[in-house]
Amino acid sequence: MKLIIINGPNLNLLGKREPKIYGTASFEDYFKILQKNFPQHELSYYQSNIEGALIDKLHEVGFTYDGIIFNAAAYTHTSVGLGDAVKAIETPVIEVHISNVHAREEFRHQSFIAPNAKGVIAGFGLQSYDLAIASFS
């Protein structure tokens, strides 16, 4: 299947950013592991810190790809625009978080993505991405 991982703001700093919460691996390195773990899928990866760029990417892939694994990061909790984009497209979206957002500050309990996502996976570290990809097998 043709699957894309889309990561939102500050996730370009994975490995350096708050390693106690988000771990010590960069996403570029972890993406190589994902490609090895799931050779049956055609995986691609996109990251942006810009809300509009994430919306553009959802529009670009959202009618042709088989699945989107989406960690909207902080925009999860704030972005009506990203929530509307997920609603507007046809490709199923799995919302992913590295940390268990429900065990953290209350503002992280709200998601504008979840109501229109196929499912939500949170709290398994970078393995959250494995679990999301496995759901397409």
Rounded-to-integer distance, Cα 74 and Cα 91, Å: 22
22, 30, 65, 75: the catalytic one is 22
List the interface residues with ligand DQA, window 3-22 (CB under 6 A).
Answer: 10
Sign, Cα dihedral of 108, 113, 116, 120:
negative
Query: Applying CB under 6 A, does 73 fall inside the site for ligand DQA?
Result: yes
Structure tokens at 4: 């894309």
The two structure tokens encoding residue 135: 């759901």
Catalytic position from the list 65, 75, 97, 129: 97
Radius of gyration of the chain (CA): 14
Q: Which amino acid is at 22?
A: Y
Indicate the residue among 2 and 125 with the shorter CB distance to ligand DQA.
Answer: 125
Q: Is 22 a catalytic residue?
A: yes
Q: Closest Cα partner for 112 from 89, 135, 85?
A: 85
Q: Is 129 a catalytic residue?
A: no
Distance between CA atoms of residues 130 and 58, nearest Å = 20
CB of 46 to ligand DQA, least distance (A): 15
CB of 13 to ligand DQA, least distance (A): 9
Assess 99 for contact with ligand DQA (CB under 6 A). yes
- Annotated active-site positions, please? 22, 97
Sites of contact with ligand DQA (CB under 6 A): 10, 71, 73-74, 76, 97-99, 101, 108
